[in-house]
Amino acid sequence: MSSPAVPKPRNDWRTLSTLFPYLWRYKFRVLGALTLLVGAKIANVSVPLILKDVVDHLDRSGQASADAMLVVPVMLIAAYGALRLASTALGELRDALFAKVSQGAIRRIALQVFEHLHRLSLRFHINRQTGGVTRDIERGTRGIATLLNFMLFNILPTLVEIGLVAAILMSKYHWHFTAVTLLTIVAYIAYTLTVTEWRTKTRRSMNELDSKANVRAVDSLINYETVKYFSNEKFESARYDESLSKWERASIKNEVSLAILNTGQSAIIALGVTMLVWLAADGVARGEMSLGDLVLVNAFLIQLYAPLNFLGMVYREIKQALTDMEKMFSLLEQNEEVQDRPGAVALSTQAATIRFENVDFGYDAKRQILHMVDFDIPAGHTVAVVGSSGAGKSTLSRLLFRFYDVSGGRLSINGIDVRDYTQESLRAHIGIVPQDTVLFNDTIYYNIAYGRPGASREEVVEAARSAHILDFIERLPDGWETEVGERGLKLSGGEKQRVAIARTILKNPPILVFDEATSALDSKTEKSIQAELAAIAEHRTTLVIAHRLSTIVDADQILVMDHGRVVERGTHRQLIEQGGMYARMWALQQQSEIEAA
């Protein structure tokens, strides 16, 4: 079976095109924000024009009466203040109006990625380390906020202002002013883009190393007990430091390249400003420009190059945001290996007959796990599967849940291929008590209620009673609100197993899978829970994957698997009488129990 296709590398325009539909859902807000943006910039570039008129009016003091001198500057100054206020107020209104757009887009994208990750097959989650995935999502959502903030509130306003200033300079003064302004901007942008593209490779490398270090840290902390068992704290620290060391070198290279970028940008801006001031001063000296014109050009320079001075930083942040978003959006392009077929129907039954028909399966095309497995579980019957480790027993339950699809043969429920049922309805009909019980880092109540989130408290309590864990819960200082810790590490193996049994009882499905369900329990507890499991399995279609043969002697049929094949089948008595593999396993376990006693 081939692995899911790897998505092709994305580029910046493709990333932006993926983001755009999420923003356009709020098109009226977007258009309103853009209108306010343009209005704010018109007000902003009008301020130096008013200031020029004020200066020129005062400079012509000998040409006007005292009354005119008194009234006109006051009106101009009032207009100057009003325009400054309008520029700020319109900008704040723009931010407030656009907040719903940016936050709504982030929420929808994060939710879509989360839901898509849940739709991906178990193969993806086994091959992809959780620490790296969560970091990609975190950086990606943060990158959206960064991109929108800088692109719409820095880059676009700056470009609008540059266009307005260039138009004013062209209409009022010699074309040299416009030429110097535009040449400086073009040179600045070209230099910034070139150097930033070079720096992006370093930044990407930093991200990869950061994710790798985070994966190692999370993996080590999750396996805290294993680290302690083997006294490997120094080994884990050395592995983590190895990743941090590589990240450090990439980070230093990134900082050096930043210094080169900033120095070049400063040189270009300084040269452009010097040329414009020289042209303005020369115009005033030759009488072609007024003192107000000099003030106007200088004010434009201050307004224009102040945001332009941050253009490099803004562009770098945008490139980084696009890089972060690229990784997050690439998760959305991961192929859903297991999908509902067109026209898939919902499974709805309380009497399920399961049929494995010559099923072949392999997690990898080079290594087949199951070979022509053929058996059925009639509705209300219990079939147990035994065999050595690696025989393919747990794979049967994974195929039943459709974590994977069979590569050959057919798996059906009530005569219909499971691939023709919706995954949601199929899994709603199956309950499992796994060998390795993993709990959420929440309360005991939450973990039991997870079996059926809409259940009443009385139903949750009854499920705990049936799983023989109610007394234990009520003896705890915090009772039902006891936190179980990461992966349930605050509970013993037996306690976790009973929580898993309780939530399966609460789910109350017509199909049950017990995968070494009592493996973590002591003999006394195992016997009491075994009776309860037998009671809840009554009238349900049940698949039992067992290691201890004493737990399955009452099964309607027992399958013995070896290297992915069913080599024996029958009841407990029939298999003992055959004297084959099952009989030898039974004898060995009986002898072990006698020796242990």
CATH number at residue 186: 1.20.1560.10
Same-domain check for residues 273 and 353:
no
Same-domain check for residues 522 and 392:
yes
464 with 476: CB under 8 angstroms? no
- Report the CATH number that the domain containing residue 595 is assigned in CATH: 3.40.50.300
For position 131, what pLDDT does the model report? 60
Per the structure, the complete domain to which residue 156 belongs is given by: 12-332
- Residue 5 included in any domain: no
Residue 222 φ/ψ, nearest 5 degrees = -65, -35
Same-domain check for residues 501 and 513:
no
- Residue 66 included in any domain: yes
Residues 498, 471: Cα–Cα separation, whole Å = 12
**pLDDT per residue rounded down to tens, the chain (597 residues):** 444 444 444 467 777 778 888 888 888 888 888 888 888 888 878 777 777 777 766 666 545 445 544 555 667 677 777 877 888 888 888 888 888 888 888 888 888 888 888 877 677 776 666 566 777 788 888 888 888 888 777 778 888 888 888 888 888 877 888 888 788 888 888 888 788 777 777 777 887 888 888 888 888 888 888 888 888 888 888 888 888 888 888 888 888 888 888 888 788 878 877 887 788 788 777 777 777 777 777 777 777 767 766 766 777 788 778 888 888 888 887 777 788 889 899 999 888 999 999 999 988 777 888 999 999 999 999 999 998 877 888 899 989 999 889 989 999 999 999 999 999 999 999 998 887 788 888 899 999 999 888 889 999 999 998 888 899 999 989 899 998 887 777 888 778 888 888 998 899 899 999 887 666 566 666 676 677 777 778 888 999 998 878 888 889 999 999 988 999 999 999 999 998 899 998 888 887 766 655
Long-range contact pairs involving 160-168 (C-beta distance under 8 Å, separation at least 24)? 160/37, 160/38, 160/41, 161/41, 161/44, 161/45, 161/303, 161/304, 161/307, 162/304, 162/308, 164/41, 164/42, 164/45, 165/45, 165/300, 165/303, 165/304, 168/45, 168/49, 168/300
What's the token pair of residue 177?
């002013």
Same-domain check for residues 236 and 376:
no
For position 399, what pLDDT does the model report? 92
End-to-end alpha carbon distance in the chain: 47
Residues 464, 495: Cα–Cα separation, whole Å = 11
For 383, the enclosing helix (H) or strand (E) is strand 382-387
Same-domain check for residues 397 and 461:
no
Same-domain check for residues 315 and 352:
no
Same-domain check for residues 29 and 94:
yes
Residue 409 φ/ψ, nearest 5 degrees = 80, -155
Query: String of b and e for 469-484 (b: at least 16 CB within 10 Å)?
Result: bbebbeeeeeebebeb
The CA-atom distances, in angstroms, between 551 and each of 209, 494, 527 are 49, 16, 9
For residue 373, give the 3-state DSSP assignment: strand
- Residue 1 included in any domain: no
Same-domain check for residues 181 and 253:
yes
- CB atoms near residue 409 (< 10 Å): 16
Same-domain check for residues 146 and 183:
yes
Q: Which amino acid makes up residue 522?
A: D
Of the candidates 478, 507, 536, which is a domain's last residue?
A: 507
Instruction: Give all strands (DSSP E) within 15-135, no chain letters.
Output: none
- Residue 6 included in any domain: no
Of the candidates 332, 350, 365, which is a domain's last residue?
A: 332
Give the β-pairing of 557-562 and 354-361. Answer: unpaired
Q: Which amino acid makes up residue 370?
A: L
Residues 117, 112: Cα–Cα separation, whole Å = 9
- Residue 3 included in any domain: no
Within 8 A by CB and 6+ apart from 250, the residues are 202, 205, 206, 209
Same-domain check for residues 519 and 537:
yes
Same-domain check for residues 513 and 503:
no
Domain count, the chain: 3
For position 531, what pLDDT does the model report? 73
Same-domain check for residues 37 and 155:
yes
- Residue 283 included in any domain: yes
Of the candidates 488, 507, 526, which is a domain's last residue?
A: 507
Closest CA to 362 of 373, 370, 353: 370
